[in-house]
């Protein structure tokens, strides 16, 4: 793990690499992982508390464990924030139910007044940056690393040792006022430009120009979108 953002979770990473190679854990690793497992039990309980009480519990809990949680952030029922020390969420953003944000190996930064709809997955090895006023449709997936074909390497999977994996990793950016429809997939190295719209069920393999509407698999330009004026 070369990214500096991995340091808070180095012990989990090292322990998992030992596990898939059949090596034994040290007593220190066993002790620390046991403490973290106990804390995960508490997180699992508050993750599923419904209603206003659940919103409040999750808000105050994640303010303690995340890198940043802004004012009036809503974290809905069933949301999983994996690697919270690498996750920042700014003011008035709603992470809707059953989303998964995996920042164990990288950083996820989410701006203000965004909505991430139910069942969205965001996986970060290189940084994923989502600016302000962004909407991400239900069941969309954003990856800053993906499997690739490399000679003498296996396609990456969690049970393959790190040195044998074949993957590509690059930052992803969703700029201000961009919009992803439902079931969109965004791959590593993509920048969704300011005000750009990606239609539902699209696969985005290259960057999208500002104020452009794209659709398809792979996504291609469909039309231009008129710029909007800032109101506040």
- Considering the domain boundaries, does residue 30 fall inside one? no
- Considering the domain boundaries, does residue 182 fall inside one? yes
Contact 161, 21 (CB under 8 A): yes
- Considering the domain boundaries, does residue 44 fall inside one? no
Query: What pLDDT was estimated at residue 89?
Result: 98
pTM: 0.86
Query: What pLDDT was estimated at residue 156?
Result: 67
- Considering the domain boundaries, does residue 19 fall inside one? no
Query: What pLDDT was estimated at residue 159?
Result: 77
- Considering the domain boundaries, does residue 69 fall inside one? yes
- Considering the domain boundaries, does residue 186 fall inside one? yes
Look at 169 and 149; give whichever has higher pLDDT. Answer: 169
pLDDT at 2 over 50: no
How many structural domains is the chain composed of?
Answer: 1
Query: What pLDDT was estimated at residue 231?
Result: 62
Q: Is 203 helix (H, G, I), strand (E, B) or coil?
A: strand
Tally of CA atoms within 13 A in the half-sphere of 130 that contains its CB: 33
Look at 208 and 167; give whichever has higher pLDDT. Answer: 208
Contact 76, 97 (CB under 8 A): yes
Tally of CA atoms within 13 A in the half-sphere of 92 that contains its CB: 6
Work out the average pLDDT over 154-175.
Answer: 82
- Considering the domain boundaries, does residue 9 fall inside one? no
From 111, 109, 190, select the one nearest 146 (Cα to Cα).
190
For the record, the structure tokens of 94 come out as 């709603």
The CATH number of residue 74's host domain is 2.160.10.10
- Considering the domain boundaries, does residue 77 fall inside one? yes
Domain that holds residue 210: 50-224
């Amino acid at each position: 793990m070369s990214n500096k953002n991995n340091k808070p979770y180095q012990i989990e990473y090292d322990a998992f690499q030992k596990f898939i190679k059949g090596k034994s854990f040290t007593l220190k690793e066993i002790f620390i992982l046991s403490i973290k497992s106990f804390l995960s039990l508490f997180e699992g309980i508050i993750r599923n508390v419904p209603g206003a009480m659940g919103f409040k519990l999750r808000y105050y809990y994640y303010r303690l464990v995340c890198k940043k949680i802004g004012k009036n952030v809503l974290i809905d029922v069933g949301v999983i924030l994996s690697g919270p020390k690498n996750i920042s969420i700014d003011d008035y953003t709603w992470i809707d139910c059953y989303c998964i944000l995996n920042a164990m190996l990288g950083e996820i930064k989410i701006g203000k007044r965004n909505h991430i709809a139910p069942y969205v997955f965001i996986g970060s090895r290189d940084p994923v940056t989502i600016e302000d006023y962004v909407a991400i449709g239900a069941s969309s997936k954003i990856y800053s690393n993906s499997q690739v074909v490399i000679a003498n390497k296996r396609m990456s999977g969690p049970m393959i040792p790190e040195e044998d994996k074949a993957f590509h990793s690059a930052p992803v950016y969703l700029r201000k006022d961009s919009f992803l429809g439902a079931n969109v997939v965004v791959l590593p190295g993509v920048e969704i430009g300011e005000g750009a719209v990606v239609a539902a069920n699209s696969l985005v393999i290259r960057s999208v120009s500002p104020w452009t509407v794209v659709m398809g698999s792979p996504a291609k330009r469909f039309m231009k979108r008129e710029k909007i004026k800032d109101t506040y």
